[in-house]
Amino acid sequence: MMKTFNTMSLEKETFTPINEKTINMYVCGPTVYNYIHIGNARSAIAFDTIRRYFEYRGYEVNYVSNFTDVDDKMIAAASEQGITVPELADKYIDAFNEDTAPLNIKPATVRPRATEHIPEIIEFVEDLIKKGYAYESEGDVYFRAKKFKGYGILAHQDLAEMESNAAGRLDDGELARKEDPMDFAVWKGENGDGAIAWNSPWGKGRPGWHIECSVMSTKYLGNHLDIHGGGIDLAFPHHTNEIAQTEAHTGEKFVEKWLHNGFVTVGDENEKMSKSLGNFTTVHELLQQIDDPMVLRFFMATTQYRRPIAYSQKNMDLAARNLERIRTGYRNLQFRLGSAVAGSDADIEAKAQEKVDAFVEAMDDDFNAQNAMTAVYELIELANLYSQAEEVKTDTVNFVLKQIKDLMNVFGVDGLEQAPLLDADVDALIKERDAARETSNFARSDEIRDELASRGIILEDTPQGTRWRRA
């Protein structure tokens, strides 16, 4: 029985899809005014992993994740760079696709942009006004937060405190335009800078931040979603406001399960990532600094999604060692295919299946990646032991290899079967050494071994032939 932690109830709840074999899942994407940072990457990887696990369990996942391509940050960044807002959006959407590809993040079923849905947004806002949930004021349109019963329940905050905080964030002009400090914008009138605006019944303007996700999620997934995800920082105000305006519009329950990933801290002191602290890291920069993007993917995917992640060189180094441990175990067993005999070993396959079952049990428990990885490491130990057996069976080798590959695919880690490419001269030296050993020229064999070791390539002589690994 699968269980997920619902931010709405603050409890683990049994997960049963609305439709038996299909899961409708919406995850808030980035505002594309800059390269994505590692916090954005953590959210993208976390929910990609959850999606992959659902697919592993046999579900079809309709996965929609948006781009916010118009807001105040977009307008400011475009002005600074001397380009239009659409040009800025195109630039950083292309960068997003380029930077997430090495992290093996699957493309969304639909990747909508806010600016592609202006007519639907206007129609949505008109309906809110018609129902008395929204009102126009000097070209802006605001949602009456307190009119929606249960406003703020997702944030688990006191309404009076929320009201006080809201009032403290507003300037005198905005306070004057609003009926209540808690009210939030679903449409923002043009501020006179001519940056970007669309015609509307309330004059030229643009969508508020929250309205876009309500419109796009319901357009592509219907009024009632299985899962809505995003970073925990979005629970209030973004997701809180989404619930209010969406349910006011549809009259239906918006989301069954609210899933939120934890924060990313930076460095050994677990500092909050901040430009002012000088620890702000974009994925674009990071990918130029690391040799193997799969290490970053592995590091983030194998931490349970609700837990905070401490990004540090020490933790990345540990992840690299653990990933290499898995790769080595896989390749050790793969190497034995060359000497395997026909048939199967039922006891080995049964033991492997026990590890797979433990993996599923862990992931069914709110995607407990740490416990799931314990099962993977135990499966790797089994693979290593079997690879050292005097005789191995083809069917069993392939069975164990498939289980390892399938489980690691849940975490988005691939390329297990691909050993790092050797330079032509290194490959030639290995072949020369094999020939030297066949003719008992052990002096030359040892000489080549030492030379390769100096290059960081360690040779291992086995009854099945010569294997190699990087030091």
Render 131-198 in DSSP notation, one character per residue.
TTSEEEETTEEEE-GGGSTTTTGGGT--HHHHHHHHHHT--HHHHHH-SSTT-EEEEEE--SS-SS-B
- Residue 238 labelled as part of a binding site: yes
- Residue 12 labelled as part of a binding site: no
* Cβ(182)–Cβ(146) below 8 Å: yes
CB atoms within 10 A of CB 155: 16
- Residue 228 labelled as part of a binding site: no
Per the structure block, which two tokens stand in for 276? Answer: 């002012």
- Residue 210 labelled as part of a binding site: no
In 3D space, the residue among 196, 164, 219 whose CA is nearest the CA of residue 70 turns out to be 196
Those residues whose C-beta lies under 8 Å from the C-beta of residue 221, and which sit 6 or more positions away, are: 24, 25, 26, 62, 64
Taking the C-alpha atoms of residue 129 and residue 443, their distance in angstroms, rounded to an integer, is 88
365 beta partners = 3
Per the structure block, which two tokens stand in for 258? Answer: 């609210």
Render 15-43 in DSSP notation, one character per residue.
---SBTTEEEEEE---B-SS--BHHHHHH
* Cβ(84)–Cβ(69) below 8 Å: no
Whole-angstrom CA distances from 323 to 96, 246, 247, 298 are 25, 43, 44, 7
C-alpha triplet 220, 409, 332: angle, nearest 5° = 170
As annotated, the binding site includes 28, 213, 238, 242, 275
As annotated, the binding site for Zn(2+) includes 28, 213, 238, 242
As annotated, the binding site for ATP includes 275
